[in-house]
């Protein structure tokens, strides 16, 4: 359920084709000419204010190009991207004031500077005064558990800490829109869980942060995102809640019910059956079990996963 339907990011008919560089010059010298690469075609969707929106797809599907266009680093061939009402081509500086981007790219920092010095540099570029920047950096280091490595050179940090520093940098200017590219890829399970908590809390804070999350970790996308878009070969194939998307692959689901006290015994027992999504069979079965004196200990339902949905669209794309 989305409380506010106002768009933080609005993408309309976005297409991007990387032109073949120096095509005419190469043709003139009779050098092989590369074909233009179509990275995105007619992409349209909105990320609502305070929403965590997931973007999933295979490598080369167009996720990075899409993120870079939103971040104003690459210009679209056709179509528009608006970030809180600002066009990404004509008001690119305004757009950059509104967004923070965290990628898993380690080379985006200065390796001989400490974590603190790196963030200070970027804070100054954002126009923060030294006093405010120092305070903000302290806050972020505390929030992301980076205090111990604040004065360590970036090159000497662990991969996980480097990734957390990238998230801290993205959050420096309090951006209302956050673009996250695999934010937990290099984190240990505990740190990953804390990062997910942080992401979740950002979307709930006042004012909320709208998040476009690209990830290969489907479980993470499912846990965090209110809506998910599946991108394949540059096209958006489906946009919906993770629950509805899972329902696309199969109309039935496996149900496992763990009960005790059935047939007068105290031993727990597992009962499995298949039902059609949306029918009354689960209610009826549970009522029947309770009427027979059983205590319901656990109910587990297994429907098609996001991976199944992804596979379905990939195989559809191949046959097209």
Q: What sections of 205-304 are H helices per DSSP? A: 218-224, 242-249, 281-291
Instruction: Confirm if 193 and 20 have CB atoms less than 8 A apart.
Output: no
* Site mask for other proteins (CB under 8 A), range 157-186, x = bound: ------------x-----------------
* Site mask for other proteins (CB under 8 A), range 251-280, x = bound: ------------------------------
Query: CA-CA distance, 166 to 307, in Å (whole number)?
Result: 28
Q: Of the candidates 241, 232, 227, which has an alpha carbon nearest to the alpha carbon of residue 312?
A: 232
**Of 4 and 73, CB closest to other proteins:** 73
**Of 68 and 227, CB closest to other proteins:** 68
Instruction: Confirm if 160 and 187 have CB atoms less than 8 A apart.
Output: yes
Q: Of the candidates 36, 48, 50, 28, which has an alpha carbon nearest to the alpha carbon of residue 229?
A: 48
Instruction: Confirm if 42 and 105 have CB atoms less than 8 A apart.
Output: no
**Of 48 and 96, CB closest to other proteins:** 96
Q: Of the candidates 147, 142, 130, 149, which has an alpha carbon nearest to the alpha carbon of residue 171?
A: 142
User: Among 119-127, 233-241, 255-263, 271-279, which window interacts with other proteins (CB under 8 A)?
Assistant: 119-127
User: CA 283 from chain center: how many Å?
Assistant: 35
Query: CA-CA distance, 5 to 46, in Å (whole number)?
Result: 10
**Of 126 and 285, CB closest to other proteins:** 126
**Of 100 and 304, CB closest to other proteins:** 100
Is there binding between residue 101 and other proteins (CB under 8 A)?
Answer: yes
Q: Of the candidates 219, 226, 184, 222, which has an alpha carbon nearest to the alpha carbon of residue 204?
A: 226
Query: CA-CA distance, 145 to 80, in Å (whole number)?
Result: 38
Where does residue 291 rank: exposed (0-12), middle (13-18), buried (19+ CB within 10 A)?
exposed
Smallest gap from Cβ 27 to other proteins, in A, equals: 17
* Site mask for other proteins (CB under 8 A), range 12-31, x = bound: ------xx-x----------
User: Among 50-58, 88-96, 245-253, 273-281, which window interacts with other proteins (CB under 8 A)?
Assistant: 88-96
Smallest gap from Cβ 71 to other proteins, in A, equals: 6
User: Among 44-52, 90-98, 220-228, 255-263, which window interacts with other proteins (CB under 8 A)?
Assistant: 90-98
**Of 128 and 229, CB closest to other proteins:** 128
Exactly one of 23, 34, 112, 151 binds other proteins (CB under 8 A); which one?
A: 112
- Positions in the binding site for other proteins (CB under 8 A): 18-19, 21, 65, 68, 71-75, 77, 93-94, 96-97, 99-101, 105, 107-110, 112-113, 117, 120-122, 124-127, 169
């Amino acid at each position: 359920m989305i409380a506010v339907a106002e768009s933080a990011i609005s993408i309309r008919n976005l297409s991007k084709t990387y032109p073949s560089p120096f095509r005419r010059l190469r043709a003139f010298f009779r050098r092989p000419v590369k074909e233009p690469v179509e990275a995105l075609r007619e992409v349209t969707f909105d990320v609502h204010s305070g929403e965590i929106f997931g973007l999933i797809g295979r490598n080369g599907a167009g996720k990075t190009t899409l993120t870079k266009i939103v971040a104003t680093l690459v210009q679209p061939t056709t179509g528009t991207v608006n970030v809180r009402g600002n066009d990404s081509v004509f008001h690119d500086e305004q757009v950059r004031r509104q967004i923070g981007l965290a990628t898993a790219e380690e080379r985006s920092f200065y390796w001989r500077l400490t974590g603190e010095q790196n963030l200070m540099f970027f804070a100054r570029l954002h126009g923060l005064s030294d006093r405010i920047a120092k305070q903000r950096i302290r806050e972020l280091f505390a929030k992301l558990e980076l205090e111990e490595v604040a004065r360590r050179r970036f090159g000497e940090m662990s991969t996980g800490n480097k990734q957390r520093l990238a998230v801290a940098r993205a959050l420096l200017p309090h951006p209302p829109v956050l673009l996250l590219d695999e934010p937990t890829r290099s984190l240990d399970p505990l740190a990953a869980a804390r990062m997910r908590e942080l992401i979740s809390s950002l979307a709930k804070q006042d004012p909320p942060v709208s998040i476009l999350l690209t990830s290969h970790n489907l479980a993470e996308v499912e846990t965090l995102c209110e809506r998910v878009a599946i991108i394949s070969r540059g096209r958006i194939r489906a946009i919906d809640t993770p629950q509805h998307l899972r329902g696309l692959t199969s109309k039935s689901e496996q149900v496992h019910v763990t009960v005790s006290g059935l047939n007068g015994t105290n031993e727990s027992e597992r009962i499995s059956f298949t039902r059609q999504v949306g029918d009354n069979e689960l209610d009826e079965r549970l009522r029947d079990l309770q009427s027979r004196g059983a205590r319901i200990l656990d109910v587990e339902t297994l429907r098609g996963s996001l991976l199944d949905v992804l596979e379905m669209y990939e195989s559809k794309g191949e046959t097209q």
